[in-house]
Structure 1
Amino acid sequence: MTWFTRRDLRDLAGDASFDRGLEYVDAVGDVRQLPDGVVASVDGSDRYRVRLRQRDGLDGDCSCPYGQEGNFCKHCVAVGLRLLKRGRDGAAIPAQRREVDVRGYLEGLERSALVELVWAHAQEDAALYERITLAAATSGDPVDLDHLRRAVEDLQTGWLDYIEVEEYAESAHRLVEAIGTLGLDHPAEARTLLERSIDLLMLTRLQAEDGFRVEEVIADAMEHYQTACRAAPSDGTALGKWLLRMRLEDSELIRYEGFADLLGTDGRAAYRADLEEFARLRPDDVTVRWLREELAQDQGLDALIAVWSERLTSALDYSRIAKALAAAGRPDEAITWLERGVADGRHRDPAGDSLVNQLCEFYESAGRLADRLQLREERLAAVPDGDSWKRLKAAAVSDRVWRNIQPRALRVLEKSVKRASAWMSLPVGGPDLYVHALLGEGMVDEAWLVAEKHECHHETLKAVADARGKFYPADTVGAYKKIITRLINVMTSDSYREAAEQIAGLKPLFQRAAMDFPAYVRELRDIHKRKRNFIAELDRQRLPA
Structure 2
Amino acid sequence: MGSLTEANLRALAGARSYERALGYLDAVSGVEVGDGWVTASVHGTERYEVELTLDGPGGLAGTCDCPYGLEGNFCKHLVALGLSMLAQRESLPRQRKAARERAQDLDRWLSALSKDELLALLREQIDEDRQVRRRLELRAASVRGDLATLRSGIRDLFDVSSFAQYGYVEYADARAYADQAGQAVSSIRALTGSGRAADAITLAREAMRLLAEAVESVDDSDGRLGRIGAGLAAAHLDACRAARPEPEELARWLAGHALGDLDDGLTDIDPLDYEDVLGEEGMAALRKLAVEAWRGNRRGWAQKYLMERLAKAGGDVDALIAVHAADLAPNGHTHLVIARELDTAQRPGEALRWAERGIRDTQDLAAVDTALVDHLCDRYTQADRLTDALTVRRDHFRARRTLLTYQQLRAAAQAADCWPAEREAALALLRADAERRQQGWYGGPVLIDALLDDKDADAAWQAATHTGAHDRQWVTLADQVRADRPADALGVYLRLAEPLLKQTGNTVYEELVALLLSIRDCHRRLGTPDEFTAYVTALRTAQKRKRNLMRLMNEHGL
TM-score, length of structure 2 as denominator length: 0.68
Please tell me the residue identity of whatever aligns with 2:180.
Y
Give the Å deviation of 1:86: 11
Aligned match of 2:289:
270
Check whether the contact 2:335–2:358 (CA below 8 A) recurs between aligned residues: yes
Q: Deviations over 1:481-520 (max 9, x none)?
A: 1332122222343344344333333347657xxxx99789
Aligned match of 1:126:
130
Q: Deviations over 1:350-384 (max 9, x none)?
A: 56443233222322333333222222222221222
* Cα distance, 1:343–1:117 mapped onto 2, change above 3 Å: closer
CA distance in 1, matches of 2:500, 2:73: 51
* Cα distance, 1:253–1:335 mapped onto 2, change above 3 Å: same
CA distance in 2, matches of 1:70, 1:459: 38
1:157 to 159, 168, 191: 159
Please tell me the residue identity of whatever aligns with 2:337.
R
CA distance in 2, matches of 1:461, 1:70: 43
- Pairwise mapping of residues 28-43 of structure 1 onto structure 2 (< 5 A)? none
Pair 1:359 & 2:369 matched:
no
Give the Å deviation of 1:196: 0.4
Aligned match of 1:302:
318
- Pairwise mapping of residues 244-259 of structure 1 onto structure 2 (< 5 A)? 244=258, 245=260, 248-250=263-265, 253-259=268-274
* Cα distance, 1:15–1:392 mapped onto 2, change above 3 Å: closer
Q: Deviations over 1:47-74 (max 9, x none)?
A: 869999xxxxxxx999956699799975
Aligned match of 2:505:
none
Pair 1:396 & 2:413 matched:
yes
Check whether the contact 2:138–2:153 (CA below 8 A) recurs between aligned residues: no
CA distance in 1, matches of 2:36, 2:415: 82
Q: Secondary structure at the match of 1:195?
A: helix
Aligned match of 1:411:
428
Aligned match of 1:192:
202
Give the Å deviation of 1:411: 0.9
Pair 1:27 & 2:30 matched:
yes
Pair 1:336 & 2:353 matched:
yes
Aligned match of 1:137:
141
Please tell me the residue identity of whatever aligns with 1:137.
A
Aligned match of 2:13:
none
Aligned match of 1:482:
492
Give the Å deviation of 1:180: 2.2
CA distance in 1, matches of 2:480, 2:52: 75
CA distance in 2, matches of 1:541, 1:97: 66
Q: Deviations over 1:174-216 (max 9, x none)?
A: 421343246x2x5544432221022223555673443355245
Please tell me the residue identity of whatever aligns with 1:146.
A
CA distance in 1, matches of 2:359, 2:129: 71
TM-score, length of structure 1 as denominator length: 0.69
CA distance in 2, matches of 1:524, 1:126: 75
CA distance in 1, matches of 2:557, 2:23: 53
Check whether the contact 1:507–1:517 (CA below 8 A) recurs between aligned residues: yes
Check whether the contact 2:482–2:522 (CA below 8 A) recurs between aligned residues: no
Pair 1:168 & 2:169 matched:
no
CA distance in 2, matches of 1:434, 1:37: 61
* Cα distance, 1:485–1:528 mapped onto 2, change above 3 Å: farther
Q: Secondary structure at the match of 1:154?
A: helix
Pair 1:501 & 2:517 matched:
yes
CA distance in 2, matches of 1:400, 1:8: 64
* Cα distance, 1:528–1:326 mapped onto 2, change above 3 Å: same
Aligned match of 1:4:
none
Aligned match of 1:106:
114
Give the Å deviation of 1:164: 1.1
CA distance in 1, matches of 2:154, 2:414: 73
CA distance in 1, matches of 2:103, 2:266: 48
Q: How many residues align?
A: 501
1:230 to 224, 244, 248: 244
Which shifted more, 264-273 or 523-532?
523-532
CA distance in 2, matches of 1:291, 1:482: 60
CA distance in 2, matches of 1:388, 1:529: 48
CA distance in 1, matches of 2:370, 2:386: 18
Please tell me the residue identity of whatever aligns with 1:177.
R
Check whether the contact 1:166–1:213 (CA below 8 A) recurs between aligned residues: no
Please tell me the residue identity of whatever aligns with 1:456.
A
* Cα distance, 1:43–1:106 mapped onto 2, change above 3 Å: farther
Check whether the contact 2:339–2:354 (CA below 8 A) recurs between aligned residues: yes
Give the Å deviation of 1:522: 6.9
Aligned match of 2:396:
379
CA distance in 2, matches of 1:466, 1:452: 16
Give the Å deviation of 1:343: 1.4
CA distance in 2, matches of 1:193, 1:201: 12
1:450 to 463, 475, 481: 463
Give the Å deviation of 1:452: 1.2
Q: Identify unmatched segments of 5+ residues in structure 1.
A: 1-6, 53-59
Check whether the contact 2:478–2:492 (CA below 8 A) recurs between aligned residues: no
Give the Å deviation of 1:98: 9.6
- Pairwise mapping of residues 318-329 of structure 1 onto structure 2 (< 5 A)? 318-329=335-346
1:430 to 407, 424, 446: 446
* Cα distance, 1:237–1:100 mapped onto 2, change above 3 Å: closer
Check whether the contact 1:321–1:337 (CA below 8 A) recurs between aligned residues: yes
RMSD, aligned α-carbons: 5.7
CA distance in 2, matches of 1:267, 1:366: 42
* Cα distance, 1:479–1:165 mapped onto 2, change above 3 Å: same
Q: Secondary structure at the match of 1:313?
A: coil
Give the Å deviation of 1:230: 0.8
Which shifted more, 375-384 or 43-52?
43-52
Q: Identify unmatched segments of 5+ residues in structure 2.
A: 11-17, 54-60, 161-168, 502-507
Please tell me the residue identity of whatever aligns with 1:130.
R
